[in-house]
Chains A and B, each alone.
Chain A
Amino acid sequence: MTRKKRGTAVTGELIESMARTLRRTVVTPARAQAMAPGIERLTDAVLAAADATDFNDEPARFGSVLEALKSQRPRR
């Protein structure tokens, strides 16, 4: 469970394998290779954002937060 080091590329082979085994979907090697950098970018973004989260941060709190924020005034 060690964190992926930056620069450890998500490969086309990994995408192909995941598509085949986890989603029963065929992805050509060329297409898998093309998708890999984008998937790596998203994964890195999520891991970076997750560093700032707390285990109590529930997704459904989004609605409550919007509700709470609606009446807040600008700070003076």
Chain B
Amino acid sequence: MSDDILDLSLIELAAAIRKRKVSSLEVTRACLDRAQRVQPHLNCFIAVEADQALKAARAADRLLERGAALGSLHGVPLAHKDLFYRKGHVSTAGAKILCNYRARVTATVVERLQAAGAIWLGTLNMSEFAGNPTGHNEYFGDCRNAWNPLHVSGGSSSGSGTAVAARACYGALGSDTGGSIRHPAAFNGVVGLKPTWGRVSRYGVLPRSWSLDTVGPLARTARDCARLIRVIAGADPNDASASGERVPDYEKELTGRVKGLKIGVPANYYYDGATADVRRCMQESLEALAALGARVIRLKVPDPQRLLDLSNAISQPEVAAVHAKWLRERPQDYSIWRAAIEPGLFAPAASYLEAQMARPRLAREFVEAVFGRVDVLHAPVYAKPVPTIAEATPRGADDIPRVQTISRNNRPANFLGIPSVSVPAGFSLNGLPVAFQLMGRPFAEALLLRVADAYQRVTDWHRRAPDLLRYG
């Protein structure tokens, strides 16, 4: 029975709890049992908070019995990347330096999830300081891919992708500065939504790069993500960058209709070095959308390599500023990925600001050139099969740029500030998931989720689960 419950989507589970077909306590126990079984093999959790989760689940069930007003996530077990603060609780950011850091505030997104009735199962593994695209972590141990533990989970929200795929929770928050939601979602065969910059408050979230950081959900379906983003999005007096743009009812927008929509396919950059199996998955996903009535249009997009370079010109000095004190005082407590932080110390302030000055103009140019012709842009999250952990391990500091190319298709959207959703689209020859991403105009999350949901109505990639029986 437990495993059957775990195959439900977040939306299905929330409905089952509401109808009392299953209790929050029962499902929380099932998640904790699954987490315990997979953890020695996948290392997706940093801390499982079983007692607290069971207590919260019992409370949720009592509220239901009393007929209290229920939030849209009532009794649903979630777990989150370990950089979302809860006052008084340890938040490690996957780093030795913060292994005992107790937060002084609670993140706005955490408060909103709690208010919606979600259960907090524990904190999830992540790349050190949200800093690498693979999920490598020297201090807490590497998080592993749910489909094959020899392969990387993708980072930096590594545990979020793996735990959702392993059915140890129904959804998870991640953060995305240069692909950190989309990599682990894509590599583990789940959906990950990087929202528009400013759509979701970043208050109480450990910073990586303020100008590029976004917070978003990972879950098994686009519909699950629609539920989660509605809960966490919106203005926040504690975060001046959080937009006051109206938060739509994203689930209502999931009409299944894509007829007449124009889907752009980039003729440049995004398919560089693509393998035949990934190309096949991309082509088949486009054919599925075309069969639903969408029009596929090939177009050249404004130079993404330039956008990637400028995103680094912004992120590197910002990351270096966040870490400057520790780089002086505790350099020995970083992993090899410290080498990705140090260069930002030496970028002139005028160069950083020139990159910031160019950003609005380049965002306008890109959006007008691309989304003036098509409704959404479709591209692979990663144009090659998911690498093994060994293949993606830097051989030294000088090898880090090679590993960072994993994020090349994702960083441009962060520079532009536009939303992007990663959607499972099949498997490569090595048996690991492949995903496309859909990018859109700022605040077009509803449209992206509508297209992703329509695709998931006619495909079953998101229903496939890794073989977890091997873990007993």
Name the B residues within 8 Å of A45 (CB-CB): none
Name the B residues within 8 Å of A2 (CB-CB): 328
Pick from B241, B328, B350: contact of A3, CB under 8 Å:
B328
Distance in Å from the Cβ of A66 to the closest Cβ of chain B?
Answer: 9
B325 proximal to A (CB < 8 A): yes
**Which of B178-186, B232-240, B372-380 has 4 or more CB atoms under 8 Å from chain A?**
B232-240
A53 adjacent to B325 (CB under 8 Å)? yes
Pick from B207, B326, B328, B351: contact of A56, CB under 8 Å:
B207
Given contacts A61-B240, A64-B238, contact A56 B325 (CB under 8 A): no
> Across the two chains, which residue of chain B brings its CB closest to A23?
B348
Given contacts A1-B342, A23-B351, A67-B237, contact A60 B325 (CB under 8 A): no
Within the assembled complex, what's the spacing in Å between the Cα atoms of A19 and B346?
12
Name the B residues within 8 Å of A56 (CB-CB): 206-207
Within the assembled complex, what's the spacing in Å between the Cα atoms of A3 and B323?
14
Instruction: Fill in one digit per residue for A32-76: 1 if any B CB lies within 8 Å of its CB, else 0.
Output: 000000000000000000110101101111111001100000000
B241 adjacent to A60 (CB under 8 Å)? yes
A22 proximal to B (CB < 8 A): yes
Name the B residues within 8 Å of A64 (CB-CB): 237-240
Q: For the side of the interface on A, what is the size category?
A: 20 to 34
Instruction: Fill in one digit per residue for A3-28: 1 if any B CB lies within 8 Å of its CB, else 0.
Output: 10000000000000010001100000
B322 adjacent to A55 (CB under 8 Å)? yes
Name the B residues within 8 Å of A18 (CB-CB): 348
Within the assembled complex, what's the spacing in Å between the Cα atoms of A18 and B351?
12
B342 adjacent to A60 (CB under 8 Å)? no
Given contacts A22-B351, A63-B240, contact A55 B328 (CB under 8 A): no
Pick from B206, B325, B346: contact of A51, CB under 8 Å:
B325
Name the B residues within 8 Å of A3 (CB-CB): 328
B237 adjacent to A55 (CB under 8 Å)? no
B240 adjacent to A60 (CB under 8 Å)? yes
Given contacts A1-B342, A23-B351, contact A50 B325 (CB under 8 A): yes
Name the A residues within 8 Å of B351 (CB-CB): 22-23
A-B contact pairs, 8 of them (CB 8 A): A1-B331, A18-B348, A50-B325, A58-B202, A60-B210, A60-B241, A61-B239, A64-B237
3 interchain residue pairs of minimum CB distance: A63-B240, A64-B240, A1-B327
